[in-house]
Amino acid sequence: MTAPDSGTGAAALLQLADLAARLGSVDGRENDHHQDVSKALAELGTSVGKLRATVTGQGKIIATLNGIDTKLAELTAAIEPLLPPAPGPQYYPVPAVQWWDENLSDSARASVVTRLRGWVERIYRPHYGHLAAKLGECWEDHPLCLVQIDWLSELWAVLYLRATRTAGVLNSQAEFGTRILPAVGAQLEAETANCTRHRSATAPASGWATSAASGWAARR
């Protein structure tokens, strides 16, 4: 039997040592790679868990919305009778007349007086009885009467030339008829009662003319 060559054995040992080193290096890289993959998988699992929790929470929220349209319809039906009527067309006052303006022309003044006369004849005298009867025929010649009837007629229009009436408007109408109008009527009477050209005008006996307000407004 032939004895092994010492050179050949040394070379084989070197090859084995090199292979072992390479295998160790591969094992190290694989170990590191395995750890990276494991970490990534763990992070992915955490994200999936959070996503699952979010989806579950959204599902609960969506579940609470079931039937919400029916609940809203029931709530609307309960509230609508309590709401005031939808606003309709309403009257907006004309600008205040600047009676004191020296530049107010005679024609402009005459136009305003014609408008006020229309309200007195169509609204005030026919519908406000003894209050209107105390107004002297010469009221157009009295600045106080012009000033008072100007805003009084506009306030009346704001309160009565409207399509709907709320509780607030109703309260204002009551205030107008029981406090404001009698007070102004007394002022107009006092202003015209002692006038040398004064003559009381008897209120017409006709009742509420349905076209009175619309007719007066149309001539404005």
Residues 26-59: tens digit of each pLDDT: 555 555 655 665 666 666 667 666 666 665 666 6
- Split at pLDDT 50, 70, 90, the class of 210 is very low
Token pair 């763990």: residue: 42
Cβ atoms of 133 and 200 within 8 Å: the answer is yes
Averaged pLDDT score across all residues of the chain: 76
Cβ atoms of 178 and 88 within 8 Å: the answer is no
Residue 218 has a pLDDT of 55
pTM of the predicted structure, to 2 decimals? 0.55
Helix (H, G, I), strand (E, B) or coil at 157: helix
- Split at pLDDT 50, 70, 90, the class of 195 is confident
- Which of 105, 89, 85, 96 is CA-nearest to residue 217? 89
Token pair 């699952």: residue: 52
CA distance 124 to 203: 9
* 67: region left, alpha or beta (phi > 0 left; psi from -120 to 50 alpha): left
Q: Does the pLDDT of residue 182 top 80, yes or no? A: yes
CA distance 147 to 145: 5
The distance between the two most distant Cα atoms of the chain, rounded to a whole number of Å, is 168
Residue 206 has a pLDDT of 45
CA distance 167 to 170: 5
Residue 141 has a pLDDT of 92
At 34, which helix (H) or strand (E)?
helix 6-65
Retrieve residue 119's tokens.
């309200």
- Split at pLDDT 50, 70, 90, the class of 208 is very low
**Which residues does 188 contact at the CB level (< 8 Å), separation at least 6?**
134, 135, 136, 139, 144, 145, 148, 149
Residue 114 has a pLDDT of 96
CA distance 56 to 63: 11
Cβ atoms of 191 and 142 within 8 Å: the answer is yes
Residue 1 has a pLDDT of 47
- Split at pLDDT 50, 70, 90, the class of 74 is confident
pLDDT, tens digit, for every residue of 82-125? 666 666 678 889 999 999 998 989 999 999 999 999 999 999 99
Side chain identity at residue 100, one-letter code: W
